[in-house]
Structure 1
Amino acid sequence: MNYLLAPGNLITVTGAVLTVIGTVAYLTGAANLSVPTLFYGFPIFIGGLALKTSELPPAKLINSQNALKAAKGEAPDELIKLVGDVTRWRYGQKAHLESSLEVLKLWDEDNPPQLKEIELLKSPDGYGARLKFELGGVPLGRWQEREDRLSRFFATGLKADLKILNSEEIDLTLLPINAENTSTSQHTDNESKQSQ
């Protein structure tokens, strides 16, 4: 993903270019060019800076775009929507899935959990997902207490499994209820391919 092409960056650069063109036109006496470019450029520049201060980058999608397109016909709509929601730029939010984490009581206002990666997992029994979170200010015990509720929250027919990666990160794996063993082995295969 190219962070230079973030909407906030594009708007800020566009506004800055228009402002510079307008300023140069004003200083050289080209009133026809200076008025519209300054009139539009400066507010666009300020708006872009405002977006940059509230920017939340997308979570990293592990699957290829081809795999994601193939999954759209088979995976539950809730999972496809989840992937779409967390893999786009967000503005004015502290974390992806902010409202969901608040409902699940997995929220800390000062240091919320951050979704870093998402991966669709395919198994013979259907599709699931793996979400990698930085815990932030929410203790691991609170995640473990809500493991059953996490199973029912994102889509029906899934079972949640928490895997502790280190003291600050966890994997939340949501698997079809009959596919826990097969998807886990596929996930391990994917990790080994990535490390090569």
Structure 2
Amino acid sequence: MKTISAPRGGTILCSHTNHFTLCNRLCFLSLHPSCPPRPPSLHLTRASRFLPHSTPISPITHRFVLRAAESTPPASISPADKTIATDDEFSLAKVSFGTIGLGVGVTLLSYGFGAYFNILPGSEWSAIMLTYGFPLAIIGMALKYAELKPVPCLTYSDALNLRETCATPILKQVRNDVIRYRYGDEQHLDEALKRIFQYGQGGGIPRRSAPILQTIREEVTEDGKYCLILVFEAKALQLSDFEKRQAKFASFFGPGITAEVGKSGNDVYEVRLISNTNPNASIS
């Protein structure tokens, strides 16, 4: 048994401990100023044993906490309530006649000139190709200039099932007119918007402020009715301009529908044309 006096007061009793080991412990506790300092990480276990009141953190506790966190199941993701129906049906209304006429006309003209100057074979047919290629190219360019592209249509599966039985003939016609190529019209539903907003008339709006149809949607309302939604962009109009013409929308696209208007974004307005046909009555 050895007795060693600490520099800051107190007495340390030690048995079977050499002087070098005791100095190392005193250096870690800053009780022996003559020894050079060492990193605490090298003596963490040794200091924990030396101090009677130290309570090191058990590594088993850490492993338990990590395993508990990893075993937590991820939050479940609910599937989508609606599925989008794809329209893969071929129709001539989805074909651009301007693109076809221009492509065929330019091809005949190019080959006709090449055959005429003996660059390409078939010089005996060059006159016929030039004769028909020139007017086809002119007609194709004219159609392309006056072409109005179809608007995108988003259809949900539940609305697709109700279209044939619940949609009114006018709603079906409106949908078919806006999803096909048109020629000569300034915009889709031009005649309808002209009557509803009364371009240039008293109480109406200027034609330059007319709303432009961007997309349409087919969906089912909460009470199970078929609904065709017209989405317009109108930078010069307000929601009140649509609200005071809500009755005109219902009368023009009627009968048998209810019209509702709302704002869905910045300068974006929706007109909901809801069919009054009861789906249960149509099924029975």
TM-score over 0.5 for the pair? yes
Q: Is the 8 A contact 1:130 1:171 kept in 2?
A: yes
Residue aligning to 1:164: 263
In structure 1, what is the Cα distance between the partners aligned to 2:264 and 2:162? 29
Residue aligning to 1:99: 191
Structure 1 residue 74: Cα displacement:
3.3
Say which of 16, 30, 45 aligns to 2:106: 16
- Structure 2 unaligned spans of 5+: 1-86, 88-93, 200-205, 279-284
Question: Identity of aligned pairs, percent?
Answer: 27
**RMSD of Structure 2 on Structure 1 (CA):** 2.9
User: Which letter does structure 2 place at the counterpart of 1:129?
Assistant: L
Task: Answer with 1 or 2: which has the greater Rg.
Answer: 2
Change in 2 beyond 3 A, CA 1:102/1:35: same
Which structure's residues are more often helix, by fraction? 1
Say which of 115, 119, 130 aligns to 1:38: 130
Change in 2 beyond 3 A, CA 1:140/1:106: farther
In structure 2, what is the Cα distance between the partners aligned to 1:128 and 1:64? 11
- Write the deviation string for residues 90-109 of structure 1: whole angstroms up to 9, x where unpaired: 11111111111111125553
- Number of residues of Structure 1 aligned to a counterpart in Structure 2: 177
- Write the deviation string for residues 36-94 of structure 1: whole angstroms up to 9, x where unpaired: 11111111112111111111111111016996476224321111111111110011111
> TM-score under structure 2 normalisation?
0.55
Is residue 175 of structure 2 the alignment partner of residue 76 of structure 1? Answer: no
> TM-score under structure 1 normalisation?
0.76
Task: Trace 1:1-196 onto structure 2 (pairs within 5 A).
Answer: 6-28=96-118, 30-63=122-155, 68=160, 71-105=163-197, 107=199, 108-110=206-208, 112-123=210-221, 126-135=225-234, 137-176=236-275
User: Which letter does structure 2 place at the counterpart of 1:45?
Assistant: A
Change in 2 beyond 3 A, CA 1:68/1:26: farther
Q: Which has the higher contact order (CA 8 A, sep 6+)?
A: 1
- Structure 1 unaligned spans of 5+: 180-196
In structure 1, what is the Cα distance between the partners aligned to 2:271 and 2:237? 14
